[in-house]
Structure 1
Amino acid sequence: MASTAPQIRSLYRRILRELPTHPSAHQKLSSPSMLQQRIRASFTTPTPKSSPNSKQHIDQFQQAEQFIQYIQAQRMYATLIERYNPGMGMSEEERVRLTARRVGMDLPPEFKAEEK
């Protein structure tokens, strides 16, 4: 088990590194999220007596590796969506204003008066 402990610790750290870091509004900055607590519990709960090289341990290790690849891909997907769709979070008025600016125009003054 001593030889697999560094691998397990590394796997645990890689999972935590990939999790979102922005805390919710009602959560303190120092306290771990519920997801982090569940992941930690799954890594720290003792397993039934079996060898570290048993099929069950190998399957769990491979499943955790696959989960890491999945959350890395999800993070990359979110990054690419934000990069290639910059107007996704904008209001309709802001999108119209930026579209006009893109072609070298400003919105007419009466449009600005209607906004206010």
Structure 2
Amino acid sequence: MSSTRALYRNLLRELPPLTPKPTSLHARLRQRFNRSADMPKEHAEQFLKYLQCQRVYVTLLERYNPGLAGDLDVEEHTRLTARRVGLNMPKTFKVGDEKK
């Protein structure tokens, strides 16, 4: 598939960004690639493919199920649920929104 250095760089791109203090995952990955006998190239390629698929999965999950992210308020969640089954929510009026 690719050289060891390119594979290592691709793995780092898929992981969360490095903080000022590297995480244990980054340190372990670096250690395994320094000693190339510890991580066979096929395992590293499989791990890279797994990380890429997980990223795509999370993207699709957020796109098609926005309520799962937990960042919607109750009204928005209700509106999206109604739209999913082909209904539109009626407009709600609040006190003070009346037109004269």
Q: Output the CA distance in 2 between the equivalents of 1:46 and 1:75.
A: 26
| Aligned partner of 2:13 among 17, 27, 30 | 17
2:67 aligned with 1:82: no
Q: Output the CA distance in 2 between the equivalents of 1:35 and 1:46.
A: 16
Unaligned runs of 5+ in 2: 96-100
Correspondence for 1:67:
47
- In structure 2, what residue type is equivalent to 1:30? P
- In structure 1, what residue type is equivalent to 2:21? S
By how many angstroms is 1:94 displaced? 4.0
Indicate how the Cα distance of structure 1 residues 92 and 14 shifts in structure 2: closer, same or farther if over 3 A, else same: same
TM-score (norm 1): 0.60
TM-score (norm 2): 0.68
Unaligned runs of 5+ in 1: 1-5, 24-28, 48-55, 111-116
**Aligned pairs, number:** 88
CA RMSD across the alignment: 3.0
Identity %: 40
